[in-house]
Structure 1
Amino acid sequence: MPEFIPLISEQEIQTRIKEIGNEIAMDYKEKDLVLVGILKGSFIFLSDLTRHISIDHEIDFMGASSYEGTSTTGQIVFTKQPDLELKNRDILLVEDIVDTGRTLLKIIEFVNLLNPRSVKICSLINKKERRQVHIDVAYSCFSLEKGFIVGYGLDYDERYRNLPAIYDLKL
C-alpha cells in the first residue's frame, strides 16, 4: 500500500500560484505572451495559473514524455506539438516539475526551431536532486531537493494526479 507524506498544502499552492501569476503579468505586460503547457502534468497548474495572469495571453499545449514509473527511460517522445504560430512570440513553457532537465531541454530546443522572440520556463516544482543539465527556471512556485512527488497534476504511472495537494510517494 503506497504512503502519501504531505509536502505542500492546497492553500500553499494556490497562494504561490497567485503570486507567480501577478509576477508574470507584470513582466509580460507589453509582450505577446503564449503559455505552452507541457502535457500531461501541467494541465492543473496551467488552468489555475492562467486565471491569475491579468494580461491578455493565449494558451497552447505540447506533449513529451520520458518516464516509466518512477524513473526516466532516457528516450524523449513528443506526443503533441503546438497548434499556434509561435514565431516572434514570447513563449512561457509551463511545466509541472523540472527534474533531470533532459526532457525540458529537448522541448526548448524544439520550440527554438519555431523562431519565438523569447522562451522562458515556469514550473510548479523545481527539483534539483537528479538535475543532469542546466535549466534556467524563470518562475518557480516551489523548490524541492528530493522525493518522488505526486498530486496536483504530478503522477505515478498516470495515477494520483487528482490529489489536491503535493505528496511524497513512498511505495
Structure 2
Amino acid sequence: MSNGSLDNDIEHVLLSTDQINARLDEIAADISRDYADKDVLVVGVLKGAVMVVADLTRRLTIPVSMDWMAVSSYGSGTKSSGVVRILKDLDADLHGRHVLVVEDIIDSGLTLSWLVANLRSRGPESVEIATMLRKPDAAKVEVDVRYVGFDIPNEFVVGYGLDYAEQYRNLPYVGTLKPEVYGG
C-alpha cells in the first residue's frame, strides 16, 4: 500500500502494516477474553489513537461502547509543563463500568498518568490501558499498561495515527522521518 510522496519522506519503516495487524489480532483476543461479560467502555485519546481504536475494536468479539477524550499537556515550546487540560471530555458516565483507555503511543507517561487518575476519580469499576506503542526509555513516571503492542526505541515516529505537523497519520505503518523533513 503506497501513500506516494508521504512514503518518500520515510527514512525507515519500524513496524509494517502486517506486523501491526498481527499484534492487533493478539491484543483483541486478550481483551475479548479478559472483558467477557463486562460492561466495557473503550476511551480513545484523540487524535493519535483514532486508527488504533478503529482497528482494535473491529477485532473484538465482545460488545463495547466507545467514547473519546482530547487532552493537552502544555508548557513552553516543545517541553511539557505537566499541566494537563481537557480539550474534549467524555460524554459517558463511568460509574461502575470497566474503562479501557486506548492510546497510540506512550512517551513520558506524564499526561497518561494524569488522565488515568482523573478517570479513576469518576467511579469506574476498573481503568486499564492499551497502547500500540511504548517508549520505555522515555518514561518519566511509571504507568501500568495492561496491553502493549510494541516497545520501541526512543525515536520520533510517524504513521498509524502518529503525526508530524498534522501529517503522516494516514500511513498504514510506523516509520521514522528523514531528518531533512523536520530539520533534524
CA distance in 2: counterparts of 1:7 and 1:71, whole angstroms: 24
The equivalent residue for 1:143 is 151
Which of these residues, 64, 84, 96, is aligned with residue 57 of structure 1?
64
Which of these residues, 142, 167, 170, is aligned with residue 175 of structure 2?
167
Is 1:112 matched with 2:110? Answer: no
Under a length normalisation based on structure 1, what TM-score does the superposition of the two structures give? 0.93
Is 1:134 matched with 2:146? Answer: no
CA distance in 1: counterparts of 2:61 and 2:79, whole angstroms: 36
Identity value in percent? 38
- Asked whether the 8 Å contact 2:10–2:175 carries over to 1, the reply is no
Q: Which runs of 5 or more structure 2 residues have no equivalent in the other structure?
A: 1-7, 180-184
State the shift of 1:31 in Å.
Answer: 1.2
CA distance in 1: counterparts of 2:178 and 2:86, whole angstroms: 29
Larger of the two Rg values belongs to structure: 2
Is 1:125 matched with 2:126? Answer: no
CA distance in 1: counterparts of 2:102 and 2:59, whole angstroms: 14
Cα gap change, 1:71/1:129 in structure 2, threshold over 3 Å: closer, same or farther?
A: farther
- Count of paired positions: 170
CA distance in 2: counterparts of 1:3 and 1:30, whole angstroms: 43
State the shift of 1:51 in Å.
Answer: 0.6
Amino acid at match of 1:41: G
Under a length normalisation based on structure 2, what TM-score does the superposition of the two structures give? 0.87
The equivalent residue for 2:166 is 158
CA distance in 2: counterparts of 1:40 and 1:152, whole angstroms: 11
Structure with the bigger percentage of strand:
1
Which of these residues, 24, 34, 41, is aligned with residue 27 of structure 1?
34
Q: Which runs of 5 or more structure 1 residues have no equivalent in the other structure?
A: none
